[in-house]
Amino acid sequence: MYLIARCPSCGRVMMANTANKTRSCPSCGRRSELSGLVPLGRARTSREAVALIQSLKEREGGAGEPGFKRFRA
């Protein structure tokens, strides 16, 4: 199971495997206990978690999140 949450330090969205007790933010490096994070969502697989993160970012308009525009062929 995967947890989707915001880093309490920098506010970036991150996913964490619930088999672990802590997670380091890939952006700022802060280590947080999963029990202290406010869940934005949960997913069964990492692919579902990534899709959920993408939809959250799209809803927020990518606020503060660097990203790439998708080009259709």
Which CATH number characterizes residue 44's domain? 3.90.820
Full domain range(s) for residue 17? 2-60
Q: How many domains does the chain have?
A: 1
User: What confidence score (pLDDT) does residue 44 get?
Assistant: 96
Task: Please report the pLDDT score of residue 57 as a whole number.
Answer: 86
User: Across the chain, how many H-helices and E-strands are there?
Assistant: 1, 5
Residue 66 within any structural domain of the chain: no
Residue 34 in any domain: the answer is yes
pTM of the predicted protein model: 0.75
Task: Tell me the per-residue pLDDT of 13-48, one tens digit each, with 9 for 90 and over.
Answer: 999 999 999 999 999 999 999 999 999 999 999 999
pLDDT for position 1: 95
Alpha-carbon span 26 to 7, nearest angstrom: 9
Q: Which of 56, 8, 6 is nearest to 16 (CA)?
A: 6
Q: Which pLDDT value is given to residue 35?
A: 94
Q: Which two tokens stand for residue 3?
A: 């947890």
